[in-house]
Amino acid sequence: MNGGPASGRFLCLHCWRSLERADAYFLCAACDDDVERPVWMRRSGGALRRLRDVRRPWWSRLFADEGGGEGPCPRHPGAPFQLFCECGYPLSERAALRGSPLGLGIAGPRSSGKTLLVVTMMHELHGLELAGRPLGAVGLDDTESRFHGLSAGFFDHGDKPFATAPETDEAPRWDGETAPGNFAWTLTVGGARRGAPPALVAVNDLGGETWGLAGHERRARFDRYLGHLGSLIYLLDGSSLAADLGFAVDDAWDASPPPGDRGAAARQWFSRVAERLGRRARRVDLALAVSKADSLWIHDDWEGLRPGGEDDDERQALLERLLRAAQRRDVLIEARQRFRDVRLFAVSSLGFLPEGRDVDGEGHLRRPAHPSGVTEPLLWLLGKRLAAPR
């Protein structure tokens, strides 16, 4: 989702509603909290409503310059105010929208490594370049503190991220805490043309159960998020893929890696994702990424999957040969029919296949993680969406 002027549409980072400024509720800082509140808090007998419903008396304009400019409150037109979504979430002026969406989804079967990819991908993004220009990423609202908790747990203490809970059937009202899997960053490309707005990238870390829902099972917040989606990373679990190729996967950090299934889970989950998106998929760029690729590139036949090995065309050909050998090329064939553009990647959030000595008695990683290839899908997707700097 692209950043834009404060007078346009806003994105709610809790329920993923997109609403016009005039449809937002507001709370005036100068009003008595017991008298004037947003509609979801109000008592009978007095409340401010949406901005479009406010009718200020003519005389209020005489005081418009008091307190720093004209505000929406009839009683205190110059007072500061806060906008709210109808779910109760306070809207950030930095979350204004303009242009085509850049919502980022990371889909895949259960335990395919979605949360860990979010952690390592966004952690590694800082300090990188896009099209030869420095790329800056700054979180919105409490994204930085919440994301730091995840990344510090993994990189500093070797903690495995908790499994992501399935999406509920109703979008709850904001209770003071942002949904744990909702993150948003403004991305700025250094050297871009003067006046070009930063891009607003929103990530919804959803459990595999949610991505695997049948199309008729509606989830309000999930469906609204998909309406913003412009970029998608779909994970093909490398451990399961390696098992289908006859390789023993001894991962000391994951005691129960997914078994080989001749690609059944990958095909079923991909079918559900495509069904959920429907015709919108034609406007979505798709990165098909083999996760946990460290379990594959340790073998001679697939060593070329490592980032920086083969040249790009050869690596694409090798990845397609891998999917064919592991009975997963059907996903690629259908993806090319349904999505706007498709590219293959191999990633490892750890950078190595953990052995017994790499994990302590409490299940923490002793060996520092060195993510490999995790930013490649994101940089490709960003390059498809962000305007090329002049």
Rounded to an integer, the average pLDDT of 189-198 is: 62
* CA pair distance 72, 26, nearest whole angstrom: 8
Q: Which of 84, 102, 127 is the last residue of a domain?
A: 84
The pLDDT value recorded for residue 244 is 94
**Three-state SS at 50:** strand
134 and 235 within one domain: yes
CB atoms < 10 A from the CB of 341, how many?
Answer: 13
127 and 52 within one domain: no
Instruction: Tell me 247's DSSP state.
Output: -
191 and 71 within one domain: no
Has residue 388 got a pLDDT over 60?
A: no
Has residue 137 got a pLDDT over 70?
A: yes
Dihedral angle of Cα 309, 313, 315, 321, to the nearest 10 degrees: -150
- What pLDDT, in 10s, does the model give residues 37-53? 444 444 333 344 677 76
- What pLDDT, in 10s, does the model give residues 279-316? 999 999 999 999 999 999 999 999 999 987 667 889 99
Question: Does 59 map to a domain?
Answer: yes
- What pLDDT, in 10s, does the model give residues 352-361? 988 889 888 8
Q: Which of 66, 84, 102 is the last residue of a domain?
A: 84
Residue 285 vs residue 167, higher pLDDT: 285
104 and 241 within one domain: yes
* CA pair distance 29, 26, nearest whole angstrom: 10
113 and 80 within one domain: no
Residue 329 sits in a domain whose CATH number is: 3.40.50.300
Question: Does 5 map to a domain?
Answer: no
Question: Does 139 map to a domain?
Answer: yes
Residue 176 vs residue 332, higher pLDDT: 332
Has residue 67 got a pLDDT over 70?
A: no
How do beta strands 182-189 and 81-84 pair?
unpaired
314 and 230 within one domain: yes
Q: Are 277 and 234 in contact (CB under 8 A)?
A: no
Is residue 267 classed exposed, middle or buried when 0-12, 13-18 and 19+ CB atoms within 10 A define those classes? middle
Number of domains the chain contains: 2
Q: Are 103 and 1 in contact (CB under 8 A)?
A: yes
Q: Are 316 and 322 in contact (CB under 8 A)?
A: no
Question: Does 89 map to a domain?
Answer: no
How do beta strands 9-11 and 18-20 pair?
antiparallel
Rounded to an integer, the average pLDDT of 81-108 is: 80
292 and 148 within one domain: yes
CB atoms < 10 A from the CB of 194, how many?
Answer: 5
342 and 294 within one domain: yes
Instruction: Tell me 258's DSSP state.
Output: P
Q: Which of 63, 84, 105 is the last residue of a domain?
A: 84
* CA pair distance 73, 79, nearest whole angstrom: 8
Question: Does 106 map to a domain?
Answer: yes
Q: Which domain holds residue 38?
A: 25-84
* CA pair distance 161, 153, nearest whole angstrom: 8
Residue 196 backbone class (left: φ over 0; alpha: ψ -120 to 50; beta: rest): beta
Q: Are 62 and 154 in contact (CB under 8 A)?
A: no
Question: Residue 98: pLDDT band by 50, 70, 90 thresholds?
Answer: low
361 and 303 within one domain: yes
Q: Are 208 and 112 in contact (CB under 8 A)?
A: yes
Q: For the whole model, what pTM was predicted?
A: 0.85
What Å distances lie between residue 231 and 117, 282, 377, CA to CA? Answer: 15, 11, 10
Question: Does 238 map to a domain?
Answer: yes
80 and 220 within one domain: no
243 and 143 within one domain: yes
Q: Are 267 and 330 in contact (CB under 8 A)?
A: yes
325 and 214 within one domain: yes
Residues for the chain: how many in total? 390
Question: Does 12 map to a domain?
Answer: no
Question: Does 16 map to a domain?
Answer: no
State phi, psi for 92 to the nearest 5 degrees.
-95, 135
